[in-house]
Amino acid sequence: MTSSSTTHTIMWFRRDLRIGDHPALNAAIEEAQSHGGAVVPVFILDPALIGGAGSKRLAYLGNSLRALDESLNNNLHVLIGDQVDVLKELLKRYNASSVHISQEFERYGVDRDKRVEAAGIKLVRTGSPYAVAPGRVVKPSDGTPYKVYTPFYRAWCVHGWREAAPTPKEIPLAKATAADRNFPDWKLPEGTEITPAGEKAALERFAYFTKNHLDQYDEARNMAGIDGTSKMSAHLKWGEIHPRTLLRGLGQTKAHDVFRKEIAWREFYADVLFNNPHTEKQYYAPRFADMRYDKPGKQFEAWKEGKTGYPFVDAAMRQMLKEGWMHNRTRMVVASFLVKDLHLEWQLGEAFFREHLIDFDLASNVHGWQWTAGCGTDASPYYRVFNPIEQGKRFDENGDYIRKYVPELRHLSGDDIHEPWTVLDGYLHDYPERIVDHALERVESLARLNEIKVQTE
């Protein structure tokens, strides 16, 4: 379909690895067709982002690129190099004048796109990875952003979102040459397994979730041992599905409303990070920077390996190491444990999650961590310290989750598995002893909180 005289259009895929409900792709097709040209689909392997991603996320990305390529009749150009050089070469080669993109809102993406534009490349932005783009939902009274989730959620619903964009019936595509096909060969480390990637997998999983779990979501979403959540996070992270698609069929039942609220948390955190880009590394509530923290040592290593001696914490960490995904309930429990039982700064845990999660999303991760640490956007007036034993008993009552990921405890019954130190055969298979005493560390954490309260009062 290529010809040097026709003017093609570049579609630069980044966090939007899909064909359906893709306004930027539709805009690229429209432009190409208006002058008898074709779309040049490209993904640029970006050394800066690849460097920070762990092997599970890279393997997922590799699978997602292959899935996208299949939808593009094997014409995805996968190119390595500096974005400006790669795009300039493509624009010249295909006699193209513009590059279509979905808009980015995180600092790295925004800066990268500005740099590309500063080099004289025309970027056409259509759509974003959100139902409502960050920065759009503001207080009607003074036009400032929301700092608290619930009023944001109400205003976000009132703002509303567009209808899904139509899926193109046919995409006129420029043929990729062998030299354009630099698909990475990222392998999964031994002993790990990740969920299937790509748009088709996302749509199938969402259909399955809608049919089997959505109507019980409000109750089931907290139960770590059951498959009660959508598992859409990695698909959303890579844009294999658009949040509009998830919101489209929701009704007004309690379960549907709770699901809509979770999608809104993702949008809220994106908005908060957009308005406060420094919180990518720094404390949202600055006084927490003055709290007394410990230096990472052996206990941090035990936390990372899932060997703290607290079964619910260890099961969760091992789930992430194995699958690159962790249940939301246990993300909160392990994050609380790191900050409030081990007295370490949230950034340490955030970086470890960043390395291991296939669904790593800067805004959700940073603000999920800050919320749990108590220094984030939490409207709650009290300082929450999760009890790792009680959380386990409540959200993994019969111990299935622990049994799945902690083989040393499989011989224990539901009652005993949460407290192996209370039974004679608890340590039969070399399960590690507790590295700290939760009851004591809770008191210590509150004492440290009191110190910064006194300082700032």
Ligand X SMILES: Cc1cc2nc3c(=O)[nH]c(=O)nc-3n(C[C@H](O)[C@H](O)[C@H](O)COP(=O)(O)OP(=O)(O)OC[C@H]3O[C@@H](n4cnc5c(N)ncnc54)[C@H](O)[C@@H]3O)c2cc1C
Number of chain positions touching ligand X (CB under 6 A) = 27
> Which residue, 221, 241, 433, 406, is CA-closest to 329?
221
* Residue found under tokens 């964009």: 165
Which listed residue (91, 171, 223, 232) binds ligand X by CB under 6 A?
232
Query: Which CB atom, from 13 or from 325, has the smaller least distance to ligand X?
Result: 325
Q: Tell me the C-alpha to C-alpha distance, in Å, between residue 101 and each of 23, 104, 123, 192.
A: 9, 9, 7, 33
Backbone angles phi, psi at 405, to 5 degrees: -105, -15
Contact between 245 and ligand X by CB under 6 A: the answer reads: no
User: How far is residue 109's CA from residue 127's CA, in Å, rounded to a whole number?
Assistant: 15
Contact between 230 and ligand X by CB under 6 A: the answer reads: yes
Query: Which CB atom, from 230 or from 319, has the smaller least distance to ligand X?
Result: 230
Contact between 364 and ligand X by CB under 6 A: the answer reads: yes
Residues 6+ apart with CB under 8 A from 169: none
Query: Which CB atom, from 268 or from 431, has the smaller least distance to ligand X?
Result: 268
Backbone angles phi, psi at 287, to 5 degrees: -65, -20
Give least dist CB 363 to ligand X, A: 8
> Which residue, 147, 154, 99, 126, is CA-closest to 367?
147
Amino acid identity for residue 415 in this structure: D
Residues 6+ apart with CB under 8 A from 40: 8, 9, 10, 11, 77, 90, 94, 96, 173, 174
Contact between 63 and ligand X by CB under 6 A: the answer reads: no
Backbone angles phi, psi at 344, to 5 degrees: -105, 160
> Which residue, 302, 324, 314, is CA-closest to 399?
314
Contact between 279 and ligand X by CB under 6 A: the answer reads: no
Query: Which CB atom, from 356 or from 418, has the smaller least distance to ligand X?
Result: 356
Amino acid identity for residue 126 in this structure: T
Contact between 338 and ligand X by CB under 6 A: the answer reads: no
Which listed residue (199, 359, 378, 396) binds ligand X by CB under 6 A?
359
Give least dist CB 128 to ligand X, A: 14
**Run of H or E residues at 425:** none
Query: Which CB atom, from 134 or from 426, has the smaller least distance to ligand X?
Result: 134
Q: Which two tokens stand for residue 394?
A: 């409540």
User: How far is residue 307's CA from residue 298's CA, in Å, rounded to a whole number?
Assistant: 11
Give least dist CB 161 to ligand X, A: 15
Which listed residue (105, 130, 353, 431) binds ligand X by CB under 6 A?
353
Which listed residue (60, 153, 360, 405) binds ligand X by CB under 6 A?
360
* Residue found under tokens 């069929």: 249
Contact between 229 and ligand X by CB under 6 A: the answer reads: yes
Give least dist CB 35 to ligand X, A: 38
Residue nearest to ligand X (CB): 368
Query: Which CB atom, from 261 or from 448, has the smaller least distance to ligand X?
Result: 261
Q: Which two tokens stand for residue 424?
A: 């004679």
Which listed residue (103, 233, 308, 377) binds ligand X by CB under 6 A?
233
197-226: contacts with ligand X (CB under 6 A): 221
Range in contact with ligand X (rule: CB under 6 A) among 4-12, 48-56, 230-238, 392-400: 230-238
Contact between 365 and ligand X by CB under 6 A: the answer reads: yes
Contact residues toward ligand X (CB under 6 A) are 221, 229-233, 236-237, 262-263, 265-266, 269, 328, 331-332, 335, 353, 357, 359-361, 364-365, 368-369, 372
